[in-house]
Chain A
Amino acid sequence: MDWFFNFPDMSRSDLREFKKTVDFAFTDFSRTYGQSIEEFFEPLLMFLVWFEKLFINTPWPVIIFSILLLAWIGSRSILIVVGTFLSFMLIGYFGMWEDTMSTLAIILVATFLCIAIGIPLGIAMARSNKVQAAIVPVLDVMQTIPSFVYLIPVVMLLGIGKVPGLIAVCIYAIPPIVRLTNLGIRLVDKDVLEAADSFGANYWQKLFGVQMPLALPTIFAGVNQTIMMALAMVVIASMIGVKGLGLPVLRAISNQYLALGLMNGLAIVILAIIFDRVTQKFGLRMQKYRNEGKD
C-alpha cells in the first residue's frame, strides 16, 4: 500500500539527471548559437541605444513640447494636455527626468514591436480557425507563466542588457494586441461582409476596407492594453539590465527606501495614465461615425 500514501514519483537521481540533461542541452544550445543570436539582435540594440540617447540628450523643453503636441493630436483635449504638462514638470522636478526618458524609449519601441508583430498575427488568427487553435495556447502560456521563468533562458542566451529586457517586455505585453485584433475582426457583422462579398471584393479589399476599420475600436483597446502591460513590466525588466524608472524601484525594494519606491512607482503610474487617456481618446475619435446621432 505504499503507492497509496506516497506518490509514485521518479527517483531523485532520475530527476536530477533529467534536469541536468535539459540544462546542458540549453547551455550547449546557447554556447553554439548564442553568439549568432546576439549578432542577429545587434542592430536592434544599436537602435535602442540610439533611441534612448535621443530622448535623454534632447533638451527637456523640446521633449515636453513634442509630448504635449502628440497628446493634443491624439486626444484633442485641453484637459489631457494640461495634465500631461503638469505631470512631466512634476516628474522632472523630483529628479526622475532621465529615468523617465529611458523608460519612455523602451516602452515606445516595445509597443511598436508588439503592434508590428501582433496585428498581423491577429489577422492570421481571424482568417483561420486552425491558426487560432494553434496560437491561443501559446498566448495563454505567455500571459500566465511567471515572468521570471522566461527571463532565465533569455538571459542565458543574450546575457543582461537592453535587448533581453525588450524581449521580456514584448513576451509579456504582446498577447492583448493579438487577441483583440483577432476578436475585433471576428466580431465584424457577417451581413456587412456578405455585402462586400456580393459586390466582388477580394480578401484584401475586405480586410483593409471593411474588417480592419470596423475592428479598429477593439484593436485600439488591444494597443492600449499592450502599452499598459509593457509599463507594468518595467520593474521586472530592470532586473536584467534595463535602465529607467524600474531600477530605482528595485533599489528601493532591496533597501526599504519608501520614498524612492513611491516616487518612481507613481511616475510609472502617471506615464500609464497619460498613455491610456491619449490612446483611448484617439481610438474614439477614429470612429466618429458611431457617435454622431441623427440631426
Chain B
Amino acid sequence: MNSKNILIKVNQLYKIFGDGDKSALDLVKNGMGKDELLEKSNCVLGLNNINLNINRGKIQVVMGLSGSGKSTLIRHLNRLIEPTSGEILFNDTNILNLTSKELIQFRQNNMSMVFQKFALFPHKTVLQNVGYGLAIQNISKDQWSEKAQKWIKRVGLDGYETYYPGQLSGGMQQRVGLARALATDAEILLMDEAFSALDPLIRSEMQNILLDLQSELHKTIIFITHDLDEALKIGDRIAILRDGSMVQDSDPQEIIMNPADEYVSDFIKDINRARVIQAKSIMTPTNTKSSGATVKEDMVLEDILQIMSDAPSKPVTIENSKGKITGKIEMVNLIEGMKRPKSLGTNITG
C-alpha cells in the first residue's frame, strides 16, 4: 500500500496508566510484560508499542478481548486519552502536538465518534442530539437542523425528531448515535464497540446500514469490536490486540488462513470457515480456463461448494473482478480450505 493512501499513522505508541508512568515506560521498553509491570510498579500497561497504518476510505477493525487495550487505542486517536509516548500522524500532522484550541477544531472537523453505550444526551431531542456536533460550532439553528434532519432520514428515523433518547429502543438510539457522528461530515469515524450492546438481529441490521453508508461515503472508519464475525463482515483490514500489544494486522483472509499465534488461532477457532474464506485464498494460481463453472475470486467456499456439488470432478475457474482468469479450485482444495489448520488443534475425537 503506498503511503499516499495512509490517512492515520500510529508510531510506537505506549500508554501506561498509573503514577510514575515515565519510569514504567523504560521497563516496558525493555520487554516487561503487563502482569510483571503491575506487580513491580503498580502501573497498568494500556498500550505496548502500537504501530498501525490506517488507510483512507477503508474500514480498519481493531479486535481483542476486553482489557486488550482496543478502547484505549481508539481514544488516543482523538486524544480523549493522552499517550505516555509515541506519535499519531494525521496527514503528517502529529495530533499529539495540537494545542487545546487546535484539538477542539480537529475534533469538530475531522473526527467523530460512536459509543458502545450510545452516550446520547438524555435531555436533548433526537434532532438536537444529531445536530450537536454542528450546533457547538456556532452554526445557525436553521443550518444544523436541516443537516441533522437529512441524517435522521438517512438512518431511517424519520418522524422521531422530537423524541428523547429515553423513549427509543437500543437499536434506534444507536442510529441516532450514528447520525450524530455522520452529521459533522468528519472524514474519520471512530466506532467503539458501536454495535456490541445490541441484540444479534439489530446488530446485523446496523452492520448493513453501516456498509451501505460506507459504499456511498467512503469514510475512514476505525471500528472496535470483540466479535470476529462482525470484524470479518465489515473490516477491510483487521488488527488484533492482546494485552496492549499488536499481535497481527492484516487482511481478514490472511488472519483466517495464517493466524500469527495461538491467541489469534483461539479467536478464529469457532468461525464457520466455509462462510468466510474466499476463493482467492485457496485457489491454485493459473491463467488457463478449467473444465467447470467460472466464479468470482471473492466468492466464499460455501457457495462454491454448492456449485461444485453438481459436477464434483470438474475444477472451477476463478476470475477477478475484471473478468481475468486467476486460478482454479478442485474439490480437494475446498475440503482442505474448510478444515481447521493443524495448529488450531481439533475437537474431534475417535
A146 at the interface (CB under 8 A from B): no
Closest CB of chain B to A220's CB: distance in Å? 14
B115 touches A194 (CB 8 A): yes
Q: Mask for A101-121, Cβ within 8 A of B = 1, else 0?
A: 000000000000000000000
- State whether A192 and B106 are in contact (beta carbons under 8 Å apart), knowing that A199-B184, A200-B136, A292-B166 are contacts in the complex: no
When C-beta atoms are compared, the residue in chain A nearest to B100 turns out to be A202
B136 touches A199 (CB 8 A): yes
Closest CB of chain A to B113's CB: distance in Å? 4
When C-beta atoms are compared, the residue in chain A nearest to B168 turns out to be A294
B133 CB contact (under 8 Å) in A199, A210, A295 = A199
Closest CB of chain A to B119's CB: distance in Å? 4
When C-beta atoms are compared, the residue in chain B nearest to A201 turns out to be B136
Of B108, B121, B167, chain A has the most CB atoms within 10 Å of the CB of B121
B167 touches A198 (CB 8 A): no
B80 touches A214 (CB 8 A): no
B60 at the interface (CB under 8 A from A): no
Question: Which residues of chain B have C-beta atoms less than 8 A from A195's C-beta?
Answer: 113, 115, 119-121
> How far apart sit A243 and B136, CA to CA, in the bound complex (Å)?
49
B112 at the interface (CB under 8 A from A): yes
A198 touches B136 (CB 8 A): no
A290 touches B167 (CB 8 A): no
B164 CB contact (under 8 Å) in A198, A209, A210, A289 = A289
Question: Which residues of chain A have C-beta atoms less than 8 A from B136's C-beta?
Answer: 196, 199-202, 205, 209
B78 at the interface (CB under 8 A from A): yes
A200 CB contact (under 8 Å) in B107, B115, B169 = B107
Q: Mask for A252-295, Cβ within 8 A of B = 1, else 0?
A: 00000000000000000000000000000000000101101111
Q: Mask for B306-332, Cβ within 8 A of A = 1, else 0?
A: 000000000000000000000000000
Closest CB of chain A to B166's CB: distance in Å? 6
B132 touches A198 (CB 8 A): no
Question: Which residues of chain B have C-beta atoms less than 8 A from A201's C-beta?
Answer: 104, 136
Closest CB of chain B to A189's CB: distance in Å? 8
A140 at the interface (CB under 8 A from B): no
B167 touches A295 (CB 8 A): yes
Of A192, A199, A210, A289, chain B has the most CB atoms within 10 Å of the CB of A199
B18 at the interface (CB under 8 A from A): no
When C-beta atoms are compared, the residue in chain A nearest to B113 turns out to be A198
Main secondary structure of the interface of A (DSSP, over half): helix
B5 at the interface (CB under 8 A from A): no
B119 CB contact (under 8 Å) in A194, A200, A289 = A194
B107 CB contact (under 8 Å) in A198, A209, A214 = A198
Question: Which residues of chain B have C-beta atoms less than 8 A from A196's C-beta?
Answer: 121, 132, 136
B123 at the interface (CB under 8 A from A): yes
When C-beta atoms are compared, the residue in chain B nearest to A199 turns out to be B133
When C-beta atoms are compared, the residue in chain A nearest to B103 turns out to be A200
When C-beta atoms are compared, the residue in chain A nearest to B101 turns out to be A202
- State whether A197 and B80 are in contact (beta carbons under 8 Å apart), knowing that A192-B122, A290-B122 are contacts in the complex: yes
> How far apart sit A290 and B105, CA to CA, in the bound complex (Å)?
33
> How far apart sit A210 and B107, CA to CA, in the bound complex (Å)?
17
B273 at the interface (CB under 8 A from A): no
> How far apart sit A153 and B12, CA to CA, in the bound complex (Å)?
63
> How far apart sit A256 and B106, CA to CA, in the bound complex (Å)?
73
When C-beta atoms are compared, the residue in chain A nearest to B164 turns out to be A289
B256 at the interface (CB under 8 A from A): no
> How far apart sit A293 and B78, CA to CA, in the bound complex (Å)?
35
When C-beta atoms are compared, the residue in chain A nearest to B116 turns out to be A191
A241 at the interface (CB under 8 A from B): no
A200 touches B167 (CB 8 A): no
A200 touches B166 (CB 8 A): no
Closest CB of chain B to A267's CB: distance in Å? 38
A191 touches B112 (CB 8 A): no
> How far apart sit A104 and B120, CA to CA, in the bound complex (Å)?
42
Of B103, B166, B169, B190, chain A has the most CB atoms within 10 Å of the CB of B166
Q: Mask for A199-221, Cβ within 8 A of B = 1, else 0?
A: 11110010001100110000000
A289 touches B122 (CB 8 A): yes
Find residues 82-104 in chain B having any chain A CB closer than 8 Å to their own CB: 103-104
A194 touches B167 (CB 8 A): no
B117 at the interface (CB under 8 A from A): yes
When C-beta atoms are compared, the residue in chain B nearest to A190 turns out to be B119
> How far apart sit A197 and B169, CA to CA, in the bound complex (Å)?
25
B111 at the interface (CB under 8 A from A): yes
Question: Which residues of chain A have C-beta atoms less than 8 A from B112's C-beta?
Answer: 198-199
When C-beta atoms are compared, the residue in chain B nearest to A293 turns out to be B167
A191 touches B121 (CB 8 A): no
Question: Which residues of chain A have C-beta atoms less than 8 A from B190's C-beta?
Answer: 198
- State whether A200 and B106 are in contact (beta carbons under 8 Å apart), knowing that A191-B117, A290-B166, A292-B166 are contacts in the complex: yes
- Of the A-B pairs whose beta carbons lie under 8 Å apart in the complex, a sample of 14, sorted by A's number, is A192-B120, A194-B115, A195-B121, A198-B112, A199-B136, A200-B133, A200-B136, A210-B121, A213-B123, A214-B122, A289-B164, A290-B122, A290-B166, A292-B166
Given contacts A198-B107, A199-B180, A200-B105, 14 further A-B contacts (CB under 8 A): A194-B119, A195-B113, A196-B132, A197-B107, A198-B78, A198-B113, A199-B108, A199-B132, A199-B184, A200-B137, A201-B104, A214-B122, A293-B167, A294-B168
Q: Which 10 A-B pairs have the closest CB atoms?
A: A200-B107, A200-B108, A195-B119, A198-B113, A289-B164, A191-B119, A199-B133, A200-B104, A213-B123, A201-B136
